[in-house]
Protein backbone atom coordinates (compact mmCIF):
# COMPACT_ATOMS: atom_id res chain seq x y z
CA UNK A 1 0.00 0.00 0.00
CA UNK A 2 1.21 3.48 -0.90
CA UNK A 3 0.02 6.52 1.06
CA UNK A 4 0.30 10.13 -0.08
CA UNK A 5 -1.32 13.53 0.37
CA UNK A 6 -2.37 14.15 -3.22
CA UNK A 7 -2.95 17.85 -2.61
CA UNK A 8 0.84 18.33 -2.48
CA UNK A 9 2.68 17.88 -5.77
CA UNK A 10 5.82 16.63 -4.03
CA UNK A 11 3.73 13.84 -2.55
CA UNK A 12 2.25 12.96 -5.94
CA UNK A 13 5.75 12.74 -7.38
CA UNK A 14 6.92 10.57 -4.48
CA UNK A 15 3.93 8.28 -4.95
CA UNK A 16 4.61 7.93 -8.68
CA UNK A 17 8.27 7.13 -8.03
CA UNK A 18 7.34 4.43 -5.51
CA UNK A 19 4.84 2.87 -7.90
CA UNK A 20 7.33 2.86 -10.76
CA UNK A 21 10.00 1.32 -8.55
CA UNK A 22 7.61 -1.41 -7.42
CA UNK A 23 5.78 -2.36 -10.62
CA UNK A 24 7.58 -3.12 -13.91
CA UNK A 25 4.22 -2.90 -15.71
CA UNK A 26 0.97 -1.02 -15.15
CA UNK A 27 -2.23 -2.29 -16.70
CA UNK A 28 -4.70 0.09 -15.08
CA UNK A 29 -4.65 3.47 -13.36
CA UNK A 30 -7.82 4.58 -11.59
CA UNK A 31 -7.83 8.24 -10.57
CA UNK A 32 -10.39 8.48 -7.78
CA UNK A 33 -10.08 11.68 -5.79
CA UNK A 34 -12.63 14.33 -4.88
CA UNK A 35 -13.20 16.79 -2.06
CA UNK A 36 -15.27 19.91 -1.50
CA UNK A 37 -14.65 22.73 0.97
CA UNK A 38 -17.08 25.46 2.02
CA UNK A 39 -14.20 27.90 2.42
CA UNK A 40 -11.20 28.57 0.19
CA UNK A 41 -8.03 26.73 1.22
CA UNK A 42 -4.55 26.78 -0.30
CA UNK A 43 -2.22 23.79 -0.77
CA UNK A 44 1.50 23.70 0.11
CA UNK A 45 2.10 24.66 -3.54
CA UNK A 46 0.03 27.83 -3.16
CA UNK A 47 -2.86 26.53 -5.27
CA UNK A 48 -6.58 26.51 -4.55
CA UNK A 49 -7.22 23.19 -2.82
CA UNK A 50 -10.19 21.91 -4.84
CA UNK A 51 -8.60 22.46 -8.24
CA UNK A 52 -5.23 21.16 -7.03
CA UNK A 53 -6.56 17.96 -5.48
CA UNK A 54 -9.44 17.06 -7.77
CA UNK A 55 -7.82 17.93 -11.10
CA UNK A 56 -4.10 18.63 -10.92
CA UNK A 57 -3.30 15.56 -8.78
CA UNK A 58 -4.71 13.02 -11.26
CA UNK A 59 -3.32 15.07 -14.16
CA UNK A 60 0.18 14.96 -12.68
CA UNK A 61 0.03 11.35 -11.51
CA UNK A 62 -1.24 10.12 -14.87
CA UNK A 63 1.51 11.91 -16.74
CA UNK A 64 4.21 10.65 -14.39
CA UNK A 65 3.01 7.07 -14.95
CA UNK A 66 2.15 7.42 -18.62
CA UNK A 67 5.35 6.04 -20.07
CA UNK A 68 4.99 2.86 -17.99
CA UNK A 69 1.34 2.54 -19.00
CA UNK A 70 2.26 2.86 -22.67
CA UNK A 71 5.01 0.29 -22.31
CA UNK A 72 2.42 -2.05 -20.74
CA UNK A 73 -0.24 -1.53 -23.43
CA UNK A 74 -2.97 -2.46 -23.72
CA UNK A 75 -3.63 -0.41 -20.59
CA UNK A 76 -6.41 1.76 -19.23
CA UNK A 77 -6.70 5.10 -17.43
CA UNK A 78 -10.01 5.53 -15.60
CA UNK A 79 -10.85 8.85 -13.94
CA UNK A 80 -13.70 9.38 -11.50
CA UNK A 81 -15.58 12.62 -12.16
CA UNK A 82 -19.11 13.49 -11.01
CA UNK A 83 -22.49 14.42 -12.35
CA UNK A 84 -21.56 17.89 -11.07
CA UNK A 85 -19.49 18.26 -14.24
CA UNK A 86 -22.70 19.20 -16.01
CA UNK A 87 -22.83 22.41 -13.95
CA UNK A 88 -19.11 23.16 -14.24
CA UNK A 89 -17.43 26.08 -15.93
CA UNK A 90 -13.70 26.59 -16.43
CA UNK A 91 -12.77 30.23 -15.85
CA UNK A 92 -9.24 30.50 -17.21
CA UNK A 93 -9.01 34.03 -15.80
CA UNK A 94 -9.66 32.79 -12.25
CA UNK A 95 -8.69 29.12 -12.04
CA UNK A 96 -7.56 29.58 -8.44
CA UNK A 97 -10.86 31.21 -7.36
CA UNK A 98 -8.97 34.25 -6.04
CA UNK A 99 -11.56 36.77 -7.19
CA UNK A 100 -14.52 34.90 -5.78
CA UNK A 101 -14.92 31.51 -4.20
CA UNK A 102 -17.83 29.11 -3.90
CA UNK A 103 -17.19 25.57 -2.71
CA UNK A 104 -19.79 24.10 -5.03
CA UNK A 105 -18.62 26.16 -8.00
CA UNK A 106 -15.02 25.10 -7.44
CA UNK A 107 -16.05 21.47 -7.15
CA UNK A 108 -18.18 21.60 -10.30
CA UNK A 109 -15.30 23.12 -12.25
CA UNK A 110 -12.82 20.52 -11.00
CA UNK A 111 -15.10 17.66 -12.02
CA UNK A 112 -15.61 19.23 -15.45
CA UNK A 113 -11.82 19.43 -15.66
CA UNK A 114 -11.66 15.66 -15.03
CA UNK A 115 -13.81 15.05 -18.10
CA UNK A 116 -11.94 17.52 -20.30
CA UNK A 117 -8.62 16.02 -19.19
CA UNK A 118 -9.84 12.53 -20.09
CA UNK A 119 -11.04 13.54 -23.53
CA UNK A 120 -7.78 15.36 -24.28
CA UNK A 121 -5.75 12.43 -22.94
CA UNK A 122 -7.69 10.05 -25.19
CA UNK A 123 -6.90 12.24 -28.20
CA UNK A 124 -3.21 12.37 -27.33
CA UNK A 125 -3.02 8.61 -26.74
CA UNK A 126 -4.81 7.58 -29.91
CA UNK A 127 -3.07 4.56 -31.40
CA UNK A 128 -0.88 3.84 -28.35
CA UNK A 129 -2.99 1.04 -26.89
CA UNK A 130 -3.77 3.09 -23.75
CA UNK A 131 -7.40 4.12 -23.33
CA UNK A 132 -8.87 6.89 -21.20
CA UNK A 133 -12.40 6.92 -19.84
CA UNK A 134 -14.20 8.97 -17.19
CA UNK A 135 -17.26 8.33 -15.07
CA UNK A 136 -19.90 9.52 -12.64
CA UNK A 137 -19.99 7.04 -9.71
CA UNK A 138 -23.28 8.25 -8.28
CA UNK A 139 -23.73 9.87 -4.88
CA UNK A 140 -21.81 7.61 -2.54
CA UNK A 141 -22.03 7.26 1.24
CA UNK A 142 -18.55 8.41 2.28
CA UNK A 143 -17.04 11.21 4.39
CA UNK A 144 -17.05 13.48 1.34
CA UNK A 145 -17.32 17.14 2.37
CA UNK A 146 -16.99 16.46 6.09
CA UNK A 147 -13.73 18.38 6.57
CA UNK A 148 -15.22 21.84 5.94
CA UNK A 149 -18.97 21.48 5.35
CA UNK A 150 -21.35 24.30 4.60
CA UNK A 151 -24.30 24.88 7.00
CA UNK A 152 -26.73 23.55 4.39
CA UNK A 153 -24.61 20.43 3.91
CA UNK A 154 -24.72 19.77 7.66
CA UNK A 155 -28.50 19.97 7.67
CA UNK A 156 -29.20 17.90 4.55
CA UNK A 157 -26.54 15.21 4.94
CA UNK A 158 -28.36 12.93 7.45
CA UNK A 159 -31.39 12.73 5.16
CA UNK A 160 -29.38 12.45 1.96
CA UNK A 161 -27.34 9.54 3.31
CA UNK A 162 -30.48 7.40 3.26
CA UNK A 163 -30.50 7.57 -0.54
CA UNK A 164 -26.77 7.29 -1.24
CA UNK A 165 -24.97 4.34 -2.78
CA UNK A 166 -22.71 2.14 -0.73
CA UNK A 167 -18.99 2.46 -1.52
CA UNK A 168 -19.17 -0.93 -3.26
CA UNK A 169 -22.03 0.25 -5.47
CA UNK A 170 -20.21 3.51 -6.15
CA UNK A 171 -17.13 1.61 -7.31
CA UNK A 172 -19.02 -0.58 -9.79
CA UNK A 173 -18.52 1.61 -12.86
CA UNK A 174 -14.83 2.16 -12.07
CA UNK A 175 -14.28 -1.58 -11.78
CA UNK A 176 -16.23 -2.17 -15.00
CA UNK A 177 -14.14 0.32 -16.97
CA UNK A 178 -10.90 -0.97 -15.47
CA UNK A 179 -11.48 -4.67 -16.03
CA UNK A 180 -14.45 -5.55 -18.22
CA UNK A 181 -13.75 -7.09 -21.64
CA UNK A 182 -16.67 -4.99 -22.90
CA UNK A 183 -14.70 -1.82 -22.11
CA UNK A 184 -11.58 -2.97 -23.94
CA UNK A 185 -10.56 -0.40 -26.53
CA UNK A 186 -13.21 2.09 -25.42
CA UNK A 187 -11.67 5.54 -25.05
CA UNK A 188 -12.70 9.17 -24.75
CA UNK A 189 -16.10 8.31 -23.30
CA UNK A 190 -18.07 9.31 -20.20
CA UNK A 191 -19.96 6.63 -18.25
CA UNK A 192 -22.57 6.34 -15.49
CA UNK A 193 -24.02 3.10 -14.15
CA UNK A 194 -21.65 1.19 -16.45
CA UNK A 195 -23.19 2.74 -19.54
CA UNK A 196 -21.89 5.47 -21.86
CA UNK A 197 -23.58 8.81 -21.30
CA UNK A 198 -23.32 12.24 -22.85
CA UNK A 199 -21.31 14.67 -20.76
CA UNK A 200 -21.85 18.42 -20.74
CA UNK A 201 -21.45 20.54 -23.85
CA UNK A 202 -18.56 22.38 -22.21
CA UNK A 203 -16.65 19.13 -21.74
CA UNK A 204 -16.56 18.56 -25.50
CA UNK A 205 -14.80 21.85 -26.27
CA UNK A 206 -11.53 20.46 -27.66
CA UNK A 207 -9.86 23.87 -27.81
CA UNK A 208 -10.63 24.57 -24.15
CA UNK A 209 -9.44 21.08 -23.21
CA UNK A 210 -6.12 21.66 -24.95
CA UNK A 211 -5.79 25.00 -23.18
CA UNK A 212 -6.56 23.36 -19.84
CA UNK A 213 -3.88 20.75 -20.53
CA UNK A 214 -1.21 23.38 -21.19
CA UNK A 215 -2.21 25.48 -18.18
CA UNK A 216 -2.18 22.37 -15.99
CA UNK A 217 1.26 21.40 -17.30
CA UNK A 218 2.55 24.84 -16.33
CA UNK A 219 1.06 24.53 -12.84
CA UNK A 220 2.62 21.14 -12.11
CA UNK A 221 6.03 22.28 -13.31
CA UNK A 222 8.94 20.50 -15.03
CA UNK A 223 8.64 16.76 -15.46
CA UNK A 224 4.89 16.74 -14.97
CA UNK A 225 4.15 15.91 -18.59
CA UNK A 226 6.18 14.12 -21.17
CA UNK A 227 7.85 16.55 -23.54
CA UNK A 228 6.65 14.58 -26.56
CA UNK A 229 3.06 15.46 -25.64
CA UNK A 230 3.49 19.14 -24.94
CA UNK A 231 2.83 20.41 -28.43
CA UNK A 232 0.03 18.83 -30.40
CA UNK A 233 -1.74 15.52 -30.34
CA UNK A 234 0.20 14.01 -33.20
CA UNK A 235 3.54 13.82 -31.37
CA UNK A 236 3.98 10.74 -29.25
CA UNK A 237 6.96 8.91 -27.85
Residues that are catalytic: 107
Yes or no: say if 88 and 109 are a contact pair by the CB < 8 Å rule.
Answer: yes
Peptide bond into 177 cis (omega under 30): no
Cα-trace Rg, the chain: 17
Edge-first strand order for the sheet with 189-192 is 28-31, 75-80, 130-136, 189-192, 195-197
Yes or no: say if 222 and 11 are a contact pair by the CB < 8 Å rule.
Answer: no
213: nearest Cα among 200, 196, 232: 232
Amino acid sequence: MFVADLSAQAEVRRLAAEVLASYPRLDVLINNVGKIWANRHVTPDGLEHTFALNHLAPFLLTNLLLQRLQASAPARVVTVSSGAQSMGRIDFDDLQSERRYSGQRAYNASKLANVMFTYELARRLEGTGVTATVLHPGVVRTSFGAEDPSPLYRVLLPLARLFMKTPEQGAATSVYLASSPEAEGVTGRYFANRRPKRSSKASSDAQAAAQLWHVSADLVGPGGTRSQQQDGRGERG
